Chain A
Amino acid sequence: MRIVVTVKYVPDATGDRHFADDLTVDRDDVDGLLSELDEYAVEQALQISENSDDDVEITVLTVGPEDAKDALRKALSMGADKAIHVEDDDLNGTDALGTSLVLAKAVEKAGYDLVISGMASTDGTMGVVPALLAERLGVPQVTLLSEVWVEDGTVTGRRDGDAASEQLEASLPAVMSVTDQSGEARYPSFKGIMAAKKKPVESWDLSDLDIEADQVGLEGAWTKVDSAAERPARTAGTIVKDEGEGGKQLAAFLAERKFV
């Protein structure tokens, strides 16, 4: 079975994230890393492999600038077999629809039985790429799973929605996404980190995927960001130390604001 795990290199959420002059996410001046939510996707791929009687080959795929290789290395050190890096200057500013095009072409070129993604990126947080990828590939989407089983060419899993918890089932090939409830992601071992250095990382550009420059990037995006403003800091509130009346003082504040 061939599993392709899509991963994203994102600005560190605990760092000072901001926008570049063209209103795209600044990916140069901020430290980046493998999106935490994608670690769960890598983990599930590894578990499926470990629980399978067949040979499973796990390829991690990313679309992003040069530094995005760090995200691939992390996934390889966790235990993935090989990596593909789609990198092209024309990709800067690509929106979710364009990203799904690049991923779909790359997944098809790589060959796949199962695509696994995280539930969302930690920068854009749209959470729509897995659904878009399924739409483009014309295969079932089995998304937002918190429990996963793959057996005999069938994917099943549990999806916890707002109103109900659902049990899903689809045949391979399919696109799956997993939540942060699907199982703690493993830390790379020292052996894993050393082995990752020898694992193959292929680099593809847009011409390798038969994608024209105007289909992606800021120009090819179907949405336009007109402005981005830092949210004004909240005005400093009143802070009191509880000397035995803290609850009553807070109630008085809530009453003053008409909540009580």
Chain B
Amino acid sequence: MAEVLVYVDHVDGAVRKSTLELLTLARRIGEPVAVALGNGAADTAATLAEHGAVKVLTHEAAEYADYLVVPKVDALQAAVEAVSPAAVLVPSSAEGKEVAARLALRIGSGITTDAVDLEVGDEGPVATQSVFAASFTTKSRVSKGTPVITVKPNSAAVEAAPAAGAVEALAVTFSVQATGTKVTARTPRESTGRPELTEAAIVVSGGRGVNGAENFAIIEALADSLGAAVGASRAAVDAGWYPHTSQIGQTGKSVSPQLYIASGISGAIQHRAGMQTSKTIVAINKDAEAPIFDLVDYGVVGDLFDVVPQLTEEIKTRKG
């Protein structure tokens, strides 16, 4: 059976959920071979094996943390040459897409980014993409070389599928370009204690209607009652009420949770681009004409300062 390379997104050995989803998709196409790089690479093996990795290629070197993108491209290229895979799957983070693109160019292959589903086709893997602010769905495939495909978070379920997960050291020779861009300092993001936005099953977001940074406390309280991540519209971020890392929309994060709750968000195209593929959508807005109501499964026309706290209380009561 053909092997499929899966690039592992991890922080010091802790594998991120998006990588486990890739293993689910990789198993549809062939046998997953994971590639884990940098500090803690070998520590990823147990988790990867549990989810179907037959092999885990690892390489630890300071270059992965000290320089931008290119060392990872060098390593993936070495892995492609060692394994001759049927496809290469990479999580669709900003960095993942850059790594994937440079890899594709080097190995003379086509690239598909931001796939939301993957299936086996007669001429290789077929990727489903959601385009034009999620108003169209396309199906496409790579027609030259080894398909390189980046996949968005929440595109597949995480499934247990025990496999060998044998750790093998990957031999990597860094290119001249590898040390071109130095990372001179790194400040880890402060943990909010909430789930990561793009990975969360439930997202609660606030927009212009929240009307002030201090009022985001009621959005956060609702999120915490549901174990959800907190997002914000561009209007709220531009106003300085919530950090840009939480922005949902065309120029921010794109999320696809089981449940999306929009509070005080009108639903402009820029915002819809980032949340339209959510499974269940609910909204609270004062304006009955707000375009967000065209998308919802359930909408409440009302003042979010009345509705949201009541909702939070009711959820707490129901959860006991």
- Known A97-B110, A128-B111, A237-B299; contact A161-B310, beta-carbon cutoff 8 A: no
Instruction: Name the segment of A75-83, A107-115, A228-236 touching the other chain.
Output: A228-236
Task: Produce 1/0 per residue, B230-247, CB < 8 A to A.
Answer: 000000000000001100
Q: Which residues of B contact A14 (CB under 8 A)?
A: 269
Q: Are A128 and B113 in contact (CB under 8 A)?
A: yes
A238 and B315 CA atoms in complex are apart in Å by 20
Task: Produce 1/0 per residue, B118-161, CB < 8 A to A.
Answer: 00000000100011111111111111110000000000000000
Q: Are B110 and A223 in contact (CB under 8 A)?
A: yes
Task: Produce 1/0 per residue, A32-43, CB < 8 A to B.
Answer: 000001000000
When the two chains form the complex, which single residue of A100, A131, A251 contacts B315, counting CB atoms closer than 8 Å?
A251
Residues of A56-102 contacting chain B, CB below 8 A: 95-97, 100
Distance of A12 from chain B, by nearest CB (Å): 10
Q: Which residues of A contact B177 (CB under 8 A)?
A: 135, 138, 140
Task: Produce 1/0 per residue, B165-188, CB < 8 A to A.
Answer: 000000000000100111111111
Residues of A132-185 contacting chain B, CB below 8 A: 132, 134-136, 138-144, 146, 156, 159-170, 174, 179-181
Q: Are A125 and B114 in contact (CB under 8 A)?
A: yes
A138 and B296 CA atoms in complex are apart in Å by 48
A224 and B144 CA atoms in complex are apart in Å by 9
A244 and B313 CA atoms in complex are apart in Å by 14
When the two chains form the complex, which single residue of B104, B244, B288, B312 contacts A97, counting CB atoms closer than 8 Å?
B104
- Known A162-B93, A248-B314, A250-B307; contact A231-B145, beta-carbon cutoff 8 A: no
When the two chains form the complex, which single residue of A130, A166, A253 contacts B298, counting CB atoms closer than 8 Å?
A253
Q: Which residues of B contact A198 (CB under 8 A)?
A: none
Q: Are A240 and B301 in contact (CB under 8 A)?
A: yes
Q: Are B250 and A125 in contact (CB under 8 A)?
A: yes
Distance of A142 from chain B, by nearest CB (Å): 6
Distance of B274 from chain A, by nearest CB (Å): 11
Q: Which residues of A contact B310 (CB under 8 A)?
A: 245-248
Specify the chain A residue showing the minimal Cβ separation from B104: A97
- Known A141-B180, A230-B135; contact A247-B143, beta-carbon cutoff 8 A: no
Q: Which residues of A contact B251 (CB under 8 A)?
A: 37, 119, 179-180
Q: Are A135 and B11 in contact (CB under 8 A)?
A: no
**B211 within 8 Å of A (CB atoms):** no
Q: Are B196 and A142 in contact (CB under 8 A)?
A: no
When the two chains form the complex, which single residue of B101, B135, B186, B313 contacts A247, counting CB atoms closer than 8 Å?
B313
When the two chains form the complex, which single residue of A143, A164, A169 contacts B98, counting CB atoms closer than 8 Å?
A143
Q: Are A226 and B98 in contact (CB under 8 A)?
A: no
**A187 within 8 Å of B (CB atoms):** no
Q: Which residues of B contact A119 (CB under 8 A)?
A: 251
B interface bracket (residues with beta carbon within 8 Å of A): 35 or more
Specify the chain B residue showing the minimal Cβ separation from A37: B251
Q: Are B298 and A169 in contact (CB under 8 A)?
A: no
A255 and B145 CA atoms in complex are apart in Å by 49
**B208 within 8 Å of A (CB atoms):** no
Identify whether the interface residues of A are mostly helix, strand, loop, or mixed: mixed
**B69 within 8 Å of A (CB atoms):** yes
**A19 within 8 Å of B (CB atoms):** yes
Q: Which residues of B contact A127 (CB under 8 A)?
A: 94, 97-98, 113
Q: Which residues of A contact B270 (CB under 8 A)?
A: 13
A169 and B308 CA atoms in complex are apart in Å by 45
**B217 within 8 Å of A (CB atoms):** no
**B5 within 8 Å of A (CB atoms):** no
Q: Are A247 and B102 in contact (CB under 8 A)?
A: no
A249 and B299 CA atoms in complex are apart in Å by 10
Q: Are A169 and B318 in contact (CB under 8 A)?
A: no
Q: Are B259 and A242 in contact (CB under 8 A)?
A: no
When the two chains form the complex, which single residue of A226, A229, A249 contacts B126, counting CB atoms closer than 8 Å?
A226
Distance of A259 from chain B, by nearest CB (Å): 5
Distance of A60 from chain B, by nearest CB (Å): 21
Distance of A254 from chain B, by nearest CB (Å): 7
Q: Are B298 and A247 in contact (CB under 8 A)?
A: no
Residues of B14-38 contacting chain A, CB below 8 A: none
A249 and B303 CA atoms in complex are apart in Å by 14
* Centre residue among A127, A146, A251 by max chain B CB count within 10 A: A251
A136 and B104 CA atoms in complex are apart in Å by 12
* Centre residue among B106, B109, B298 by max chain A CB count within 10 A: B298
Q: Are A165 and B186 in contact (CB under 8 A)?
A: yes
Q: Which residues of B contact A (CB under 8 A)?
A: 11, 68-70, 73, 93-95, 97-98, 100-102, 104-106, 109-114, 126, 130-145, 177, 180-189, 196, 198, 202, 226, 244-245, 250-251, 258-259, 269-270, 273, 276, 280-282, 284, 288, 293-303, 306-315, 318-319
A to B CB contacts below 8 Å, 10 in the list: A126-B114, A135-B177, A160-B245, A164-B186, A168-B181, A222-B142, A223-B112, A225-B140, A254-B259, A259-B226
With A163-B188, A179-B251, A247-B312 already in contact, 14 other A-B pairs whose C-beta atoms are closer than 8 Å: A13-B269, A37-B251, A135-B177, A140-B180, A165-B189, A231-B276, A237-B299, A244-B306, A246-B301, A246-B307, A247-B311, A254-B315, A259-B280, A260-B315
Q: Which residues of A contact B (CB under 8 A)?
A: 13-14, 17-19, 23, 37, 95-97, 100, 119, 122-123, 125-128, 130-132, 134-136, 138-144, 146, 156, 159-170, 174, 179-181, 221-231, 233-234, 237-242, 244-251, 253-255, 257, 259-260
